[in-house]
A and B are shown apart, each in its own frame.
Chain A
Amino acid sequence: MADETTKPRMLADAVTGSDDQRMEMFLGQMLRVGVLLAAVVVLFGAGLYLRGATRTAPDASASYRVFHGQPAQLTSVSAIWQGARQLQPLAVIQFGLLLLIATPVARVVFSIVGFAIERDWLYIAVTLVVLALLIYSLTSGTHL
């Protein structure tokens, strides 16, 4: 009895839960692709932005000392997309950041598929609740 409670149980076979592990690896790859895609878009926007950055005010950090928010072109999804298509540097960066924010949301969506393959209804429901909360916060925005 003492042995059983103090010694962790070894699993001879690491195959246990292999479905879970395949799913985890897939989700991991998906997150990596999402982040790399976001990083490429942000770096592309950074290139556009930094071409003009040496010509900006002598003290670049000064513009962040006082909070004045962002113009409407950089706070709504549709406006960011518009600006990014016209290759406006800040809008391209902001679009990359939107892709980044969307990456964990996509992971939640794909988790539903993973749990569905395993027919784990409980966790399909749990994941749907998480997804609903994410969509609520991403779309409600200024109303919250």
Chain B
Amino acid sequence: MNGLEFTAVVAVGAFLGGLLGSLTGLGGGVIVVPLLTLAFGVDIRYAIGASLVSVIATSSGAAAAYLREGYSNMRVGMFLEMATTVGAISGAVIAAKLPTSTIAIAFGVVLLYSAYSSSVEHSAAIANLPPDKIATALHMDGDYPTAAGRIAYHVRRVPLGFALMYVAGMISGLLGIGSGSIKVLAMDQAMKLPFKVSTTTSNFMIGVTAAASAGIYLHRGYIDPALAMPVMIGVLGGALLGARILPGAKVKTLRVVFSLVIAAVAAEMMYQGLKGHL
């Protein structure tokens, strides 16, 4: 492949990654890094740099569409960004000290978790839980649109969500992904936000989290412009299309199919990492 062909092939792969990542709320990074390392033999550090840039594009590009829908909770998002940015900085610092094979294995583990979490059933309806003291003090409670009008919800277990968000930020900074699955775990499972509020607020936060580690990666030379260019353009195109079709999409089947693919990719990442090939 010459430079033009390589750029085109990477852009097409990134487009599909961005589309799937946007629809499932997991982000394009979980596809981009394995695509670049396993399919094209790219060093995982370049892959992480390119992925991180694409993660910012996905998050910011889709945010306009999500925000118009009125799903996301800005206060919850901003409050938890304190945890994710600190986590992202620690992750990027740790990444420089770890061998690439260890990073590949860690990536596989996180991918497996993402596959598991996206196949878990999320009920669309929420129980109207009693208000939580901390969440009330932080003005976090909100409402979101449904077919039957806007429905109010109460936010729960803020400290647990905050701690999980630190972990999510660290994994994002370490692996160059948005770690949406852990952000959704924190908001959907721990803080009991409705699923669509979790995924869209997570999307909203991912850009800020990724920006916190992108600066460090840029200075360290992980961001290669010729590689990041097709990745960014491809993922952005896919994410914009994904955000456009999300409100009408039946995400359940997609999530199950996607999680199976991700599980297979995760196994391959860990295998290649253990053999020391990545």
A residues adjacent to B (C-beta < 8 A): 4-12, 14, 16-17, 20-21, 23-25, 27-29, 31-32, 34-35, 38-39, 42-43, 45-46, 49-50, 52-61, 64-67, 69-71, 74-76, 90-91, 93-94, 97-98, 100-105, 107-108, 111, 120, 122-123, 126-127, 129-130, 133-134, 136-142, 144
Contacts and interface: CB of A to CB of B under 8 A. Distances in A.
A42 B233 contact: yes
B100 to A, nearest CB: 8
B221 A60 contact: no
A76 B208 contact: no
B140 to A, nearest CB: 10
Interface of B: 1-7, 36, 40-43, 45-46, 53, 56-57, 59-61, 63-68, 70, 72, 74-75, 78-79, 81-82, 85-86, 88-89, 92-93, 100, 125-130, 138-139, 142-143, 145, 148-153, 207-208, 210-216, 218-230, 232-233, 236
Contacts of B45: 67
Given A10-B149, A35-B61, A67-B43, A100 B5 contact: no
A52 B3 CA distance: 8
A133 B166 CA distance: 13
A107 B208 contact: yes
Contacts of A38: 57, 232
Contact of B151 (A8, A49, A54): A8
Nearest to A93: B225
A137 to B, nearest CB: 5
Given A45-B225, A69-B220, A90-B225, A25 B236 contact: no
Contact of A11 (B4, B59, B60, B149): B149
Contacts of B65: 28
B4 A54 contact: yes
A134 B42 contact: no
Q: Which 10 A-B pairs have the closest CB atoms?
A: A53-B3, A69-B221, A141-B219, A28-B67, A138-B215, A104-B207, A60-B6, A70-B221, A93-B225, A28-B64
A97 B233 CA distance: 11
Contact of A10 (B130, B148, B221): B148
A32 B68 CA distance: 12
A17 to B, nearest CB: 7
A31 B239 CA distance: 14
12 contacts: A4-B128, A12-B149, A27-B74, A42-B232, A46-B7, A61-B1, A65-B41, A100-B56, A122-B138, A130-B208, A134-B208, A141-B220
B61 A16 contact: no
B89 A133 contact: yes
Contact of B212 (A28, A56, A133): A133
